[in-house]
Amino acid sequence: MTAILLSKQEARRFLVRYHGLAGDFRYRGKEGVLAYIRRVGCIQFDPLNVVGTNPELVLQSRVEDWHPSMLRELLYGERRLIDYWDKNMAIFPVEDWPCFHRTRARYAGWCERHREVAERVIGEIRERGPLSSADLDMNDKVDWPWAPTRLARAALEALYFAGRLVVHGKSGTRKTYDLPERHIPQALLSAPEPFATDEDYMCWHVHRRIGSVGLMWNKPGDAWLGIVGMKSAERGRAFARLREEGRILEVRVEGCPHPLYIRTEDKPLLDELEDGTGFDGGTRRASVLAPLDNLLWDRKLIRELFGFDYVWEVYKPENERKYGYYVLPVLCGDRLVARFEPEKTRPGGTFAVRRWWWEEGVDVTPELVETVAAGLRRFAGGLGALFDEAGIVRALCAT
């Protein structure tokens, strides 16, 4: 099939619409949260909270009447979403549980090597109910991937990754764990793995990740993190098979040296690009993006298409940071127009900008300031914070 030809602007507009970030909101309420996550497969979790956690920031930019309680209810009340490992720590629909058999199998070894500890933990949870590491008297220090930790924490996390426990709930960064059979339908727990071969699994996960971003290339990058057995050769074979089966379509973007791909089911979105709705004049919408937003998973691709070079610098030493500790991108229409460092904000406080940077070449017109200020007002509302309109406008105009 002949490749689809797009300009860079068309590619940007496809991505922005794909993620529900253009014009009027496509997603509303809890059903909107669920619909967006089903569309992209998963959203990435990170516990750092300056103005909300990463999944909360992903959803506030896409769900019109967003409130953090929506995600908590879907995860820990209705159990239609689940915390587990996909693109690193992630949140995805519970019906995808059978697809992650290979991920769970990677962690079964620890539980086998420490069977007595594992069975003790499971026995205590069966008898006492959901528990956190603080509830277990297992204080020996053990080696763990990030750093030495208490045996209680290591055992709970290993059992969780092996699928023998699930997250029951969270209070801040503290997790409580419970038995999966108390929260996941038995039909899902007992379902056989849907992939007959490693190649079948790889094709499924590559196809899923293309849908997580919307438009992807067959190049190494962070967007592929967490796929069991992923190497360049396996990824290349998956792309070839997906093309042969007609499940992905090649896209050639003007000025981009590498071919890109979309899922075949997403091609109708390309037909919406012609009317310009959501990108011109008063139809534009400004959104604050999460640091690990799906749109930003492949930073090299974003630099290629948007001319925006973004690195989340929270894990860099202070003297190596170009911008700041916690800096968020700002999307307006089909351009990433700015980035800013917010003050730490809690519900009831006043949202404030510590530092603001317009991107080089952006024409800072009164209309742009007004649109971006409206986006920041909505962002503050999602935090349950007060909004100093005059102060924010001064901050935008002073840079």
Residue 246's pLDDT is: 97
What confidence tens digit (pLDDT) does each residue in 138-155 have? Answer: 888 888 877 788 899 999
Rounded distance, CA 44 to CA 53, Å? Answer: 10
Identify which of 351, 315, 322 has the alpha carbon closest to the alpha carbon of residue 339: 322
Say if CB 344 and CB 50 are below 8 A apart: yes
Say if CB 362 and CB 320 are below 8 A apart: no
Q: Is the pLDDT assigned to residue 33 strictly greater than 90?
A: yes
Q: Please tell me whether residues 78 and 201 are part of one structural domain.
A: yes
Contacts by 69-75, CB closer than 8 A, 24 or more apart: 70/29, 70/30, 70/33, 71/33, 73/30, 74/30, 74/33, 74/34, 75/167
Q: Please tell me whether residues 372 and 343 are part of one structural domain.
A: yes
Domain's final residue, options 275, 294, 309 = 275
pLDDT band per the 50, 70, 90 thresholds, residue 275: low
Q: Residue 384 domain-assigned?
A: yes
Q: Residue 260 domain-assigned?
A: yes
Task: For residue 249, give the H/E element and its range.
Answer: strand 248-253
Q: Residue 281 domain-assigned?
A: no
Q: Please tell me whether residues 83 and 226 are part of one structural domain.
A: yes
- Residues in CB range of 129: below 8 A, 6 or more apart: 178
Rounded distance, CA 203 to CA 215, Å? Answer: 16
66 half-sphere exposure, CB direction, 13 A CA radius: 26
Q: Please tell me whether residues 147 and 269 are part of one structural domain.
A: no
Task: For residue 116, give the H/E element and its range.
Answer: helix 115-128
Domain's final residue, options 189, 217, 232 = 189
Q: Residue 49 domain-assigned?
A: yes
Select the more confidently predicted residue: 272 or 127.
127
Residue 274's pLDDT is: 73
What confidence tens digit (pLDDT) does each residue in 170-229 have? Answer: 988 899 999 999 999 999 999 999 999 999 999 999 999 999 999 999 999 999 999 999
Q: Residue 30 domain-assigned?
A: yes
Q: Please tell me whether residues 79 and 139 are part of one structural domain.
A: no
The mean of the pLDDT values for the chain is: 94
Q: Residue 81 domain-assigned?
A: yes
What confidence tens digit (pLDDT) does each residue in 103-128 have? Answer: 999 889 889 998 999 999 999 999 99
Residue with tokens 């996390």: 157
Q: Please tell me whether residues 107 and 177 are part of one structural domain.
A: yes
Q: Please tell me whether residues 184 and 235 are part of one structural domain.
A: no
Is the pTM higher than 0.85?
yes
pLDDT band per the 50, 70, 90 thresholds, residue 284: confident
What confidence tens digit (pLDDT) does each residue in 215-229 have? Answer: 999 999 999 999 999
Domain coverage including residue 342: 286-397
Rounded distance, CA 298 to CA 219, Å? Answer: 10
Identify which of 206, 253, 208, 273 has the alpha carbon closest to the alpha carbon of residue 233: 206
Q: Is the pLDDT assigned to residue 70 strictly greater than 80?
A: yes
pLDDT band per the 50, 70, 90 thresholds, residue 52: very high
pLDDT band per the 50, 70, 90 thresholds, residue 42: very high
Q: Residue 19 domain-assigned?
A: yes
Q: Residue 280 domain-assigned?
A: no
Q: Please tell me whether residues 77 and 114 are part of one structural domain.
A: no
Domain's final residue, options 139, 171, 189 = 189
Q: Please tell me whether residues 119 and 260 are part of one structural domain.
A: no
Q: Please tell me whether residues 337 and 387 are part of one structural domain.
A: yes
Residue 278's pLDDT is: 67
Q: Please tell me whether residues 92 and 124 are part of one structural domain.
A: no
Q: Please tell me whether residues 265 and 233 are part of one structural domain.
A: yes
The DSSP secondary structure of 152-164, one letter per residue, reads: HHHHHHHHHHTTS
List % helix, strand, coil for the chain (3-state, nearest 5).
45, 20, 35
Tell me how many domains the chain contains.
Answer: 3
